[in-house]
Amino acid sequence: MAITSDIIVPIANHVGPEGVFTMRFIVGIMAGLQHPGMHKLVNNWSPRRRKGRFMSCYMGNAFGSILTIPVTSLIIEELGWSWSFYYLTIVAVLFCAAFFLLVADEPSNHRWIRQEDLEITDTPQEETMNTSSEKGKPPYWSMIASSSFWAVVVAHFGNQFNLHLTLTTVPQFLKRKLQFSLKKTAGVAALLHLAGFLLGCPYGVIHNWLLKRGASKKICGTLFTFVPHMLTGFILMYFPKIGDSAVYSVWFLVVMMLFNGVAVASVLANPEDLTTNWQETIYNTMNFFGNCGGFIGPILVSKLTEENTNEGWGLVFFTGGLLSILTGIFFRYFAEFETQDWNEHRRNAQNN
């Protein structure tokens, strides 16, 4: 559905902005279904003691952006913007073909898995995982009343807000304020995603290494979530003082995305700590609130930078930095890293 909608976008342009908006809206809805499904796959495939390493696979979206942004910019300049959608459609078709060929719901269902690999992956999520085909309804009220649930939702909102801010605001800032060309803007945008990818990807390996050497999950959570939130926030808040220096602006943004990549990867792993039965429900909620930044950010930017002043742009980045700090503090004091009581909701109901 997303592929079909994407390829129709150039045609919908003849209808007007409404047609393009409708098609992109459908693409967004369909794409939103992917993340909870991926979360379930990670849970089915990864032994719990290696969960952090597996969660780093989510940084693949940053790698996709590294390739997509400069390539589509080049295509737009050479062939026109319509061909950028055709290019993405071809890539999506190839991905879907590879996905259905290579991926299985569970290790035991994979057609080519080796026995030694099956022994590694086919480990139960301790005694906390409900293997019944019918788990019942998620314990919504218990989740809502849980501070640990809101801690991960709030932290994810802060991460995603700054990610969307970077995606939508930085290209505008580079073009409107620093007079970058389209190619240069695309190159810098890809560089920012590369920065997030470089530190976000090895997060899981470092996380597991620390746990093996006796570090608690609480310490690791603070190190990989709270600290990056603080550093990201301070960098963004200081950003307005740089002025019109293109070199310093780019380097500050690169460093900011390095820390943001770690924070994103670590927050994505937290639902697996809280529950083995309802992590998809948590991630659905995280994704809902996190993507709100996708439309809140552009509205905020358009209002504050209407006159293209230093003060307006400074306020945009200051707001993003302050939000990063506040959400990091909230996560620091309310996050949990152990299985919650409401994970056993279905089992307890059956016993009673």
Backbone region of residue 104 per phi and psi (left: phi > 0; alpha: psi in -120 to 50; beta: other values): beta
286 or 25, higher pLDDT: 286
SS3 of the chain: the string is CHHHHHHHHHHHCCCCHHHHHHHHHHHHHHHHCHHHHHHHHHHHHCCHHHHHHHHHHHHHHHHHHHHHHHHHHHHHHHHCCHHHHHHHHHHHHHHHHHHHHHCCCCHHHCCCCCHHHHHHHCCCCHHHCCCCCCCCCCCHHHHHCCHHHHHHHHHHHHHHHHHHHHHHHHHHHHHHHCCCCHHHHHHHHHHHHHHHHHHHCCHHHHHHHHHHCCCCHHHHHHHHHHHHHHHHHHHHHHHHHHCCCHHHHHHHHHHHHHHHHHHHHHHHHHHHHHCCCCHHHHHHHHHHHHHCHHHHHHHHHHHHCCCCCHHHHHHHHHHHHHHHHHHHHHHHHHCCCCCCHHHHHHHHHHHC
Q: Looking at residue 325, what is its pLDDT? A: 93
* Tens-place pLDDT, residues 272-316: 888 878 888 888 888 889 888 877 888 888 888 888 788 888 888
* Tens-place pLDDT, residues 217-261: 888 888 888 888 898 889 888 877 776 677 777 788 788 877 777
C-beta separation of 225 from 52 below 8 A? no
Look up the pTM and report it.
0.78
Query: Confidence class of residue 59 from pLDDT cuts 50, 70 and 90?
Result: low
CATH 3.40.50.2030 applies to domain 46-79+115-121+147-345? no
Burial 323-349 (b: 16+ CB within 10 A, else e): bbbebbbbbbebbbbebbebbbbbbee
Query: Confidence class of residue 145 from pLDDT cuts 50, 70 and 90?
Result: very high
Query: Confidence class of residue 69 from pLDDT cuts 50, 70 and 90?
Result: confident
Provide the mean pLDDT of the chain. 79
